[in-house]
């Protein structure tokens, strides 16, 4: 019995360490893009149409960027519904931003928009306006001046990140907060939802907590 308890405690310790490491990784990025290298992406449009491109997510504003004629262009998201990078799917949450699909149940989705915390980034660089590696210039179109040397920020632990969560509930995208979400809670689940809101271990800023809310829809 003691041996089983010891093994269980060791397992839980490893899980907690892994979760802490993952959380730490999500607080910083060594590149201003979601992926260190541009990826083969499938850009989904309405009615099942799609185009392919070498693309990435620009973390300054969560926009879609792609390579064309040796320039990195910022895409117009108007016709875009989502973008698939391998096993990752990014969903459009507004006219300019894409968020990573965290969980989907039926027609409902939990989405996370990750951006660079520009206030914190500016403070770390003395509060100046000329912040390195994050300029977007307009010369015959929008493009980013990013090269292989300047992309990485390992020497100062990278770019500080912030995460904002959204729900896509039957096609309507809302920010993840109580006032917006409770409007979609099924009548028979309102009491249980209220009890969940009173749970001191539950949080609107915690991804695992948000995943528990699908049962109320």
Burial string for 152-183 (b: 16+ CB within 10 Å, else e) reads: ebeeeebbbbeebbbbbbeeebeebeeeebee
Predicted local distance difference test score (pLDDT) of residue 158: 82
Instruction: Reply yes or no on whether the pLDDT at 101 is more than 60.
Output: yes
Q: Could you read off the pLDDT of 116-173 as tens digits, one per residue? A: 998 898 888 776 555 555 655 443 334 444 444 444 544 567 889 999 999 999 999 9
- Tokens representing 76 are 């117009």
pLDDT band of residue 188 (cuts 50, 70, 90) is: very high
Stretch 82-99: mean pLDDT = 98
Instruction: Reply yes or no on whether the pLDDT at 8 is more than 60.
Output: no
Between the two ends of the chain, the Cα-to-Cα distance in Å is 42
> How far, in Å, CA of 198 to CA of 202, rounded?
8
Q: What is the 3-state secondary structure (H, E, C) of the chain?
A: CHHHHHHHHHHHHHHHHHHHHHHHHCCEECCCECCCCCEEEEEEEHHHCEEEEEEEEECCCCEEEEEECCEEEECCCCCEEEEEECCEEEEECCCCCEEEEEEEECCEEEEEEEEECHHHHHHHCCCCCCCCCCCEEECCCEEECCCCCCCCCHHHCCEEEEEEEEEEECCEEEECCHHHHHHHCCHHHHHHHHHHHCCCCCCCCCHHHHHHHHHHC
Q: Could you read off the pLDDT of 52-72 as tens digits, one per residue? A: 999 999 999 999 999 998 888
Q: Which residues contact 214 (CB under 8 A, 6 or more apart)?
A: 103, 105, 108, 110
- Tokens representing 78 are 């108007």
Which position has the token pair 């995943």? 211
For residue 145, the Cα-to-chain-centroid distance in whole angstroms is 23
The full set of domain ranges for the chain reads 1-27, 31-176, 177-217
């Amino acid at each position: 019995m003691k041996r089983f308890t010891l093994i269980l405690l060791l397992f839980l310790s490893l899980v907690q360490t892994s979760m802490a490491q993952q959380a730490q990784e999500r607080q910083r990025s060594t590149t201003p893009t979601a992926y260190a290298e541009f990826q083969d992406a499938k850009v989904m449009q309405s009615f099942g149409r799609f185009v392919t491109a070498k693309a990435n997510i620009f973390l300054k504003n969560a926009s879609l960027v792609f390579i064309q004629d040796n320039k990195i262009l910022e895409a117009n998201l108007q016709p875009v519904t989502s973008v698939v990078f391998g096993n990752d799917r990014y969903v459009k949450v507004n006219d300019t931003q894409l968020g990573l699909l965290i969980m989907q149940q039926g027609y409902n989705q939990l989405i996370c928009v990750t951006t660079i915390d520009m206030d914190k980034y500016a403070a770390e660089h003395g509060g100046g306006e000329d912040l390195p590696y994050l300029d977007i210039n307009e010369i015959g179109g929008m493009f980013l001046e990013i090269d292989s040397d300047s992309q990485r920020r390992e020497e100062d632990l990278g770019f500080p990140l912030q995460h904002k969560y959204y729900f896509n509930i039957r096609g309507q995208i809302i920010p993840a907060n109580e006032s917006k979400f409770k409007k979609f809670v099924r009548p028979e689940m309102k009491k249980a939802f209220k009890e969940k809101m009173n749970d001191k271990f539950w949080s609107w800023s915690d991804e695992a907590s948000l995943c528990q809310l699908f049962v109320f829809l």
